[in-house]
C-alpha cells in the first residue's frame, strides 16, 4: 500500500458547492454536484443478501477442489457460513492485510490501522481485496481531513469536538437490534442556523469519531453494519443545508470503514417527504434504495417492520422504554477510554525502550559497580586521611614474590597500625563492608542493584 500522502478526496469541494432551490426546475441537479454522488457500492456488495449469494457461489466452486485438496487457500474461501475473523483463516488474512499495508503506514497510527482492518474484514467476511481497497480510501480521507495519519482524534485534546457532542446533535444507540447493530441519530433541530463550510467539516469530524468509537467497542456493529437515522422533527427548512447533507452522505457512503445497513428518515419535512422519492434513484442508486425508508412523524415506526429496533434500548422520545438513556455519561465514558488507551500506549512504549536498553544496562552495570565503589572510597579517603592510600600502596599484589616471604611482617605491621590509629581503619573497613552488603545482588536482577547503588551514592 502506498504511503499516506495528502490526497484530495473532494470533501471540501463538495462542501463548497451551493445548491439553490429553483421552482421552475425542481428536479434539476447541478453538474458539479453529480461528481459527488453518494457511492454505496461497498455497503451493497457486503449486505446480508450479497454475502449469502457470494458464499453460495464460492461453495459451488470449491466443491470441485476439495476432493483433490482439503486445504483452503487463505485468499480464497471457506465454509458455508463464510470466513469469520476469529477463525484461523481469518487471522491469516488479517496478518496478510497488515503486511500489505506496510510498516511505514502502520507506524504512523497503529491503533487506527488495526481497527480499520479488523472492522472491514468482519464486514466483508474476510474479503482481502475489498478490505484493502476500502482501507486505502479511508486513509486518504483521514489524511485529507486531519492533515496526517498520525493525528489522534480525542475529546480531551479537541474542546470544540467535545462541545459539539454535548449539544446532542449527533448520538448513538448501540446494540439496538437483534443482530447487534448500532444506530447513528442526527438531530437536525439542534443544528446551528446558517451552516457554513467550517461547521460542515466539524460535522464530518464528529461522524468520523462516533463511528470509530462505536466500531471499536462493538464487534457486532463491525460485522452487521450501522443504521443511519436522520431525525428532522422540529427542524425548519430555512436552516437546511443541501451541501452539508450531500457531503455527509458522500463521506459515509464512500470512505468510512463500515457498511450501512439501513437509512431511515424520521419525521421528515413535508418538502423532503415529497421530493426525496423522486430523487431516490440519484441519492441512493443501486440495491441500497431498497433499504431507504421514509418514516412518519410517529417515532414508534422504528419498532415496526422493516426496522425492528429493540424497545428496551431506545429512549421514550424514539418510542422505546429505556428511561435511563443519557448521552452525556456516554461522552465521559469515552474520555475515560481515551485515558486508558493513552496510559497503555505509554506503558508499551516504555516497555519497548526498556527492552532496547536491557543489553546496554547489562554491559554497563559492572562499570557502575566499580565506579560507585571507587567514588565512595575517594570520599572516605578525604575524611580519614591518607592512611588508606598508604596501606594500599604497601600491600603486595597477588603476583608479588614477597607475598609469602613477608607475610608475618606484614600482619604484625597491620596489628601495630590498628593499635596506633585508634580504630580509624576499623571504621573504614566497616563502612566498606556495609557498602558491599548493600550492593549484593542476584545476577538475574541487575536493575535492583543499580537502584540500590544510586540510593547509597
pLDDT tens across 38-74, in order? 899 999 999 999 999 998 888 887 766 655 555 445 4
Task: Indicate the helix (H) or strand (E) that contains 276.
Answer: helix 270-283
Averaged pLDDT, 200-214: 95
Q: Nearest 5°: phi and psi at 18?
A: -100, 125
pLDDT tens across 388-417, in order? 445 444 444 444 444 444 444 444 444 444
**Distance of alpha carbon 360 from alpha carbon 362, whole angstroms:** 5
User: Is the model's pTM score more than 0.85?
Assistant: no
Burial annotation 397-436 (CB, 10 A radius, 16+ → b, else e): eeeeeeeeeeeeeeeeeeeeeeeebeebbeebeebeeebe
Q: Where are the domains of the chain?
A: 11-325, 365-456
pLDDT tens across 253-305, in order? 999 999 999 999 999 988 888 888 877 877 787 899 999 999 999 999 999 99
**Distance of alpha carbon 159 from alpha carbon 222, whole angstroms:** 28
* Position 129 pLDDT exceeds 60: yes
For residues 101 and 82, is the Cβ–Cβ distance under 8 A? no
pLDDT tens across 68-94, in order? 555 445 454 444 568 999 999 999 999
Predicted confidence band of residue 453 (pLDDT cuts 50, 70, 90): very low
Q: Which of 29-33, 117-121, 342-346, 394-398 has the highest mean pLDDT?
A: 117-121
* Position 196 pLDDT exceeds 90: no
Predicted confidence band of residue 431 (pLDDT cuts 50, 70, 90): very low
Fold of 11-325: Phosphatidylinositol Transfer Protein Sec14p (3.40.525)
Closest CA to 5 of 147, 133, 153, 208: 147
* Position 350 pLDDT exceeds 70: no
For residues 136 and 273, is the Cβ–Cβ distance under 8 A? no
Amino acid at each position: 500500500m502506498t504511503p499516506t500522502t495528502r490526497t484530495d478526496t473532494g470533501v471540501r469541494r463538495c462542501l463548497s458547492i451551493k445548491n439553490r432551490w429553483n421552482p421552475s426546475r425542481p428536479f434539476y441537479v447541478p453538474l458539479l454536484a453529480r461528481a459527488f454522488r453518494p457511492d454505496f457500492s461497498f455497503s451493497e456488495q457486503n449486505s446480508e443478501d450479497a454475502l449469502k449469494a457470494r458464499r453460495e457461489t464460492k461453495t459451488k466452486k470449491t466443491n470441485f477442489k476439495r476432493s483433490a485438496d482439503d486445504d483452503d487457500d487463505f485468499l480464497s474461501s471457506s465454509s458455508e457460513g463464510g470466513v469469520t475473523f476469529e477463525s484461523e483463516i481469518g487471522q491469516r488474512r488479517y496478518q496478510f492485510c497488515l503486511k500489505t499495508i506496510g510498516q511505514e503506514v502502520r507506524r504512523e497510527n497503529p491503533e487506527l490501522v488495526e481497527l480499520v482492518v479488523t472492522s472491514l474484514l468482519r464486514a466483508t467476511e474476510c474479503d482481502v481485496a475489498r478490505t484493502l481497497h476500502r482501507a486505502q480510501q479511508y486513509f486518504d480521507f483521514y489524511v485529507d481531513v486531519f492533515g496526517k495519519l498520525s493525528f489522534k482524534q480525542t475529546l480531551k485534546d479537541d474542546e470544540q469536538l467535545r462541545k459539539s457532542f454535548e449539544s446532542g446533535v449527533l448520538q448513538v444507540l448501540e446494540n439496538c437490534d437483534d443482530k447487534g447493530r448500532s444506530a447513528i441519530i442526527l438531530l437536525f433541530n439542534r443544528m446551528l442556523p446558517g451552516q457554513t463550510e467550517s461547521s460542515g467539516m466539524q460535522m464530518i469530524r464528529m461522524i468520523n469519531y462516533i463511528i470509530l468509537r462505536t466500531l471499536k467497542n462493538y464487534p457486532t456493529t463491525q460485522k452487521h453494519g450501522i443504521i443511519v437515522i436522520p431525525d428532522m422533527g422540529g427542524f425548519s427548512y430555512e436552516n437546511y443545508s443541501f451541501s452539508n447533507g450531500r457531503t455527509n452522505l458522500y463521506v459515509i457512503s464512500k470512505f468510512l470503514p463500515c457498511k450501512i445497513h439501513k437509512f431511515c428518515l424520521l419525521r421528515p419535512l413535508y418538502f423532503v417527504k415529497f421530493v426525496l422519492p423522486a430523487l431516490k434513484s440519484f441519492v441512493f442508486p443501486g440495491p441500497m434504495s431498497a433499504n431507504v425508508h421514509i418514516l412518519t412523524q410517529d417515532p414508534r415506526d422504528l419498532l415496526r417492520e422493516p426496522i425492528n429496533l429493540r424497545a428496551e434500548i431506545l429512549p421514550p422520545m424514539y418510542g422505546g422504554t429505556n428511561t435511563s438513556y443519557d448521552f452525556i455519561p456516554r461522552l465521559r465514558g469515552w474520555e475515560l477510554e481515551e485515558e486508558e488507551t493513552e496510559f497503555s500506549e505509554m506503558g508499551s512504549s516504555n516497555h519497548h525502550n526498556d527492552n532496547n536498553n536491557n543489553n546496554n544496562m547489562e554491559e554497563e552495570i559492572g562499570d557502575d559497580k566499580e565506579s560507585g565503589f571507587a567514588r565512595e572510597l575517594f570520599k572516605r579517603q578525604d575524611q580519614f586521611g591518607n592512611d588508606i592510600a598508604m596501606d594500599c600502596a604497601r600491600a603486595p599484589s597477588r603476583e608479588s614474590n614477597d607475598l609469602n616471604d613477608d607475610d608475618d611482617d606484614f600482619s604484625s605491621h597491620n596489628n601495630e597500625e590498628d593499635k596506633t590509629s585508634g580504630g580509624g581503619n576499623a571504621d573504614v573497613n566497616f563502612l566498606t563492608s556495609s557498602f558491599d552488603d548493600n550492593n549484593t545482588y542476584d545476577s538475574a536482577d541487575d536493575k535492583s542493584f543499580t537502584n540500590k547503588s544510586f540510593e547509597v551514592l
